[in-house]
Amino acid sequence: MTPPPQPRAGVRAALARPRCAGPTALRWPDTARARVRQVLKFYGLDGQSKWLNLLYETFFLFGFVFLAWVGLAFQRHVRR
């Protein structure tokens, strides 16, 4: 039995699928995951909960829409 071929160096190696069967074949290669971690670490987001951040964004959106509605519905902006 021959060993599987080695991936080429460069961009194709970074984007190549892992050489294994099953659900683990759908995961990102380690190099792409490392790049994402570097970006998250640079902006100070490494280790934060993405679901908690989504909750904050949802509250902000609803609060912004509510305050915009209050400002447009109950404030007279036309002066003559």
pTM over 0.85: no
- pLDDT digit string, tens, across residues 9-39: 665 555 655 555 555 555 656 787 788 888 8
Gyration radius of the chain's alpha carbons? 24
Are 31 and 43 in contact by the 8 Å Cβ rule? The answer is no
Convert the pLDDT of each residue in 38-73 to its tens digit.
888 888 888 888 899 999 999 999 999 999 999 888
